Structure 1
Amino acid sequence: MSIAEETKDKEWPAALDFTMQTLDGKEVHLGEKYDGKVVLFVNVASKCGYTPQYKGLQELHKKYGKEGLAIVGVPSNQFGGQEPGTADEIATFCEKNYGVEFDMLSKVNVKRSEEDQCPLYQYLTDKEKLPGIGSDVKWNFEKFLVGRDGEVIAHYGSSVKPESKEMVAAVEEALAAKPAE
């Protein structure tokens, strides 16, 4: 029996109950992929002043990936047109310049606008469903931290670096929580 068959009737936490496309065009159900993991969703861009944060994200991935942290890059071109590339161009840029090994999803709209906001970010930014956490994405490299239980823990602005004491402490605390049985 495949994982998809085993988990098709499982109820997933709201933050992970989405099917998205990976940067290489494969469909992935976030719950199946990240069940029991700590997930850091980051809307990324290749031509932004915050783009060097890819380095810190990769460092977090290397340091904590084996402990259950999943970094998920979510490219978006909604802020100053700073992610104009194709999926192949984004993948090449990330590997060549930052050695990115963490998961990358396909380019989507992450902010509310006249364009369609992707369902994952509709949820992550919902102020009613996530009081005190949900708020509009204002720029590239904003981060949403999701615990092992699939609950959204925090929303960090662009200026919070992945290697900052604040971010590392939050990741370590989330990793220390035991996954639900």
Structure 2
Amino acid sequence: MLPSLLTERLTLRALRLGDLSALVAACRDPEIVRWCVSIPLGYTEQDALDFISYSHDAALAEAEFIWAIDASGVFAGVVSLFDVSRSSAEVGFWLAPDSRGQGFMAEALGAVTGFALDPLGLGLDRLVWTALQGNSSSEKVARKVGFEGFRTLPEGTPGRPGFDGVALMQTARQAELTRQRWAEVSFPG
């Protein structure tokens, strides 16, 4: 089950059918398509319906947690925990164009991080952030939340499939945030 998370300005909640048109519009944004290689090209309403359905099934299985970022009733984006294990998960996130530049993503990612690392939440030991090299906005958010150890992955990461259907390898950046580090940045002193 996906818990709703509240911040000062945002509600992080399950995706719902009312998000359909905003989800389709956002997933057609050139910046989201550029940096989020898992989002299909030419995103359709059926893609959005499938994603909404998947998000509910994945949360029930506790395999992936996908929150809609709701800014006073406006769908602003998505933040997720995926590749969830007993001790770690990877974070993923994106914002709709009209919601950028307002600090929403750091606020949303901070809430998800707190839930993930809190022993009363998921109780994970570590989170991993990975993004294609050059995605400076994503890296800036990760740094602001407290991720550290930023490095370029020598082996790269799969990108979009080429004309032959094989995923092109792209250079990626990665960092992590441990429960101990989160406690230090959340409660400095």
TM-score, shorter chain, exceeding 0.5 = no
User: What TM-score do the two structures reach when normalised by structure 1?
Assistant: 0.26
* Structure of higher RCO (CA pairs closer than 8 Å, 6+ residues apart): 1
User: What TM-score do the two structures reach when normalised by structure 2?
Assistant: 0.25
Q: Which of the pair is proportionally richer in strand?
A: 2
Larger Rg: 2
